[in-house]
Structure formats: C-alpha cells, structure tokens
Amino acid sequence: MSHPDQILGSLRLSIVQTIAKGGMGQVYRAIQHGVEGFGKTVALKTILEPYAADEEFVRMFIAEAKLVADLVHQNIVQVYHLGRAEGILYMVMEYVDGVNLRQILDRHAAQGRRLPVELAAFFASRVCRGLEHAHAQTDAEGIPLGIVHRDVSPRNLLTTRFGEVKICDFGVAKARSLAMTDDDRRVLGKYAYLSPEQARREPTDNRSDLFSLGLVLFEMLAGHRPFAAEVRSREAW
C-alpha cells in the first residue's frame, strides 16, 4: 500500500505521499477520485502489515473508526470511511493541511520564544469545543456514550494553514459502548500528559481529558512540561 499510483478498490484512492509513520501504522496523503476528473484530498491511515494480525490493535483501529464516525465537528478530524484492501484495514479521514502543536512548540523553543498568551488561550479554547462535543455524545436513547479521548497531547492537536484547530487520533479513546474489557488495566496515552487516574490505571471520564489539556496549556504558556516524564505511549502513528 505504499506505491504512489496505487488505486484502492471501489473508492478509487491514489496515494500521493507519506505524512507520518510510526511503529505500527502509517498515514498518507491521498486523492479520492470521482467522475469527470473529480478529486478530493484525504488522509489515509493504515495498519502496517506485520501488525494486521494483532487482534487487539485491529480492534482498537476499528473502534476508533466507529467512535469518530458520528463526531461531526469543526474541531475534530473527520472519519469518512473504513475499508480493507489486500487484507489491510485502512481509514479514510479528513486531510489537515497544517502542523501539529508539537511542531509549533518545538519551533518556538528553537527560537528561544514562547507562544503568545492569546494564541495559547485560543488553541486551548478550540480544543475544549471539540472535547465538549465528543463528551456530550449520546446513543439513540439519549444515554451518554462516555467518550474519553485519553491521549490529549500536542501531537494530536492540529492546526490548519487557516488557523482552524482540530483534535485527531482517537486511537486510544474509550466509550462505554466500545470499551475493551481490559482497557483500565493498561496505561494508554503519553506518559507526560496522563491524568492521575490514567497513571493509576483506574477508570476515566471526561475530566481526564480536561486534566491532560491543562498540562498542554501549561506547556504552551510556560514553555516546558510541568512534570518530568518520557513522552512514551502505545500510539502507533
């Protein structure tokens, strides 16, 4: 699935370039083709072939697609389609033409500068809007889904060239209806941004995301993280 001219099934997706590659997965910029020369730029997220047989990872990948499918909000990266090609699962997502917050923070640090307070506050406020939308989701009977992102961190907060802020990667998110039975016995997310309950492997709710966002806001304002920790995680991307 790495050839730039490859067309994937009936969706007619051609891969343009690799955006990111992690230990278990890869993200591409791709074009989704239609009739009469129609083309739409999208992001294509895949599982690397060696991990396609990992049932737990595949289950998390599928759960992410199902979880975010109905999260239609300007501050959340959209998921358009979940498919399979050559035995490999892939997810077609909104393409964000921009950078993540980690890149912004690193660029400012390299120049010996901090983010302007106004920019940090704006960024955090838009993330709050996206999280509020996710946290408020209910099922058809009005019962809260209990969606918790659980990996609110600079790499998962994107901004477009036009200043739109978007939350991405719900890969370790948890919802009441999609939770795996052993989720709360594992540490998921990046250590430097974990809430206390995540670090203790206890059940999480929306307050966990707000705690993590508070740590991100602290870093934006102070120029460093409040706690010393390696930024490690189970993330694949």
Parallel/antiparallel/unpaired status of strands 157-160 and 13-21: unpaired
The model's pTM? 0.84
pLDDT at 218: 97
* C-beta separation of 151 from 161 below 8 A: no
In tens, the pLDDT along 122-162 reads: 999 999 999 999 999 998 899 998 899 989 999 999 999 99
Calculate the average pLDDT of the chain.
84
What is the torsional sign of CA 16, 123, 162, 106?
Answer: negative
* C-beta separation of 115 from 104 below 8 A: yes
Q: What residues are annotated to the active site? A: 151
pLDDT at 100: 96
Q: Give pLDDT < 70 ranges for the chain.
A: 1-11, 22-24, 171-173, 175-189, 229-237
In tens, the pLDDT along 206-219 reads: 999 999 999 999 99
Question: How far is the C-alpha of 148 from the C-alpha of 62, rounded, in Å?
Answer: 16
Site of tokens 């400012």 = 108
* C-beta separation of 168 from 156 below 8 A: yes
The total of other beta-carbon atoms located within 10 Å of residue 131's CB is: 23
The total of other beta-carbon atoms located within 10 Å of residue 183's CB is: 16
Q: Exposed, middle or buried: residue 62 (CB in 10 Å: 0-12, 13-18, 19+)? A: middle
Nearest of 171, 5, 6, 9 to residue 87 by alpha carbon: 9
Question: How far is the C-alpha of 207 from the C-alpha of 203, rounded, in Å?
Answer: 11
Nearest of 98, 90, 38, 32 to residue 64 by alpha carbon: 90
What is the torsional sign of CA 83, 97, 22, 190?
Answer: negative
Percent of the chain at pLDDT > 70 equals 82
